[in-house]
């Protein structure tokens, strides 16, 4: 099963993967608000996530969401639950209500020697931000490295500093 958000009410609509044909459109029906809408499926090439020289965050699939790859940009990357009306640059598509709409910030800072420093801080979230099962203190900025695990509510994120 795959999920896509209803353009009207923002709830997930599920459908069978087998119904997808690349380049084709599919008519979906939202059980929540009754809207019928069409979705066009992109080819694999179009679907490939944009590569970033600074790596990405993997959002691990769970009951609330599918696996996601979120490329990291230089500067502050604001992570949280995607929600209409909340503008952040690294939104996660999930129904995990324990994840705040603005939950944490991962800062990417290239150094003069070519290294890249990744720093995480909590954004005053309700349940806090955990790195390797340790909660971040208020105003704490912690350096994180490749493979480290971040927990936002019930959702697990993994830092990958390179595309390999
Ligand atoms: Zn709807």
Q: Within a domain: residue 50?
A: no
24 inside domain: yes
DSSP 79-138: EEE--TT---SEEE----TTS-SS-EEEEEEE-TTS-EEEEEEE-S-SS-EEETTEEPPT
State residue 16's pLDDT score: 82
Q: What would the two tokens of residue 21 be?
A: 């044909």
CB 105 within 8 A of CB 77: yes
Residues 40 and 60 in one domain: no
- Supply the mean pLDDT for the chain: 90
Same domain membership, residue 103 and residue 23: no
Tell me which residue range forms the domain holding 108. 56-160
pTM for this entry: 0.72
Interacting residues of 37 by C-beta distance below 8 A, sequence separation 6+: 6, 7, 8, 27, 28, 30
Q: Band of the pLDDT at 112, cuts 50, 70, 90?
A: very high
Do 87 and 142 share a structural domain?
A: yes
**Residues with a beta carbon under 5 angstroms from ion ligand 1:** 6, 8-9, 30, 32-33, 35
Write down the pLDDT at residue 65. Answer: 93
d(CA 120, ligand 1 centre) in Å: 35
The total number of structural domains that make up the chain: 2
Ligand 1 center from residue 3 Cα (angstroms): 13
Q: Tell whether 28 and 66 lie within a shared domain.
A: no
Mean pLDDT of 146-157: 98
Residues 40 and 70 in one domain: no
Distance CA 140, CA 129 (A): 11
Which tokens sit at 5?
């958000």
97-114: buried (b, 16+ CB within 10 Å) or exposed (e) per residue?
Answer: eebbbbbbbbbbeeeeee
Q: What is the rounded distance in angstroms from the CA atom of residue 121 to the CA atom of residue 142?
A: 7
pLDDT for 66 beyond 80? yes
**136 inside domain:** yes
pLDDT at site 47:
56
Query: 41 in a domain, yes or no?
Result: yes
- 154 within a domain of the structure (yes/no): yes
Residues 116 and 60 grouped into a single domain: yes
């Amino acid at each position: 099963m795959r999920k896509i958000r209803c353009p009207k009410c923002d709830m997930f609509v599920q459908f069978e993967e087998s119904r997808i044909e690349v380049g084709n459109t599919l008519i979906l029906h939202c059980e929540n608000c009754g809207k019928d809408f069409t979705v066009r499926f992109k080819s694999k090439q179009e679907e490939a996530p944009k590569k970033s020289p600074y790596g990405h965050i993997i959002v691990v699939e769970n009951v609330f969401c599918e696996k996601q790859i979120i490329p990291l940009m230089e500067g502050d990357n604001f992570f949280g639950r995607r929600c209409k009306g909340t503008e952040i640059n690294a939104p996660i598509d999930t129904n995990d209500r324990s994840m705040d709409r603005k939950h944490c910030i991962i800062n990417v800072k290239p150094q003069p020697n070519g290294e890249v420093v990744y720093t995480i801080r909590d954004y005053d979230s309700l349940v806090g931000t955990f790195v390797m099962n340790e909660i971040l203190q208020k105003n704490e900025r912690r350096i994180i490295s490749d493979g480290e695990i971040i927990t936002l509510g019930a959702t697990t994120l993994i830092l990958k500093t390179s595309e390999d």
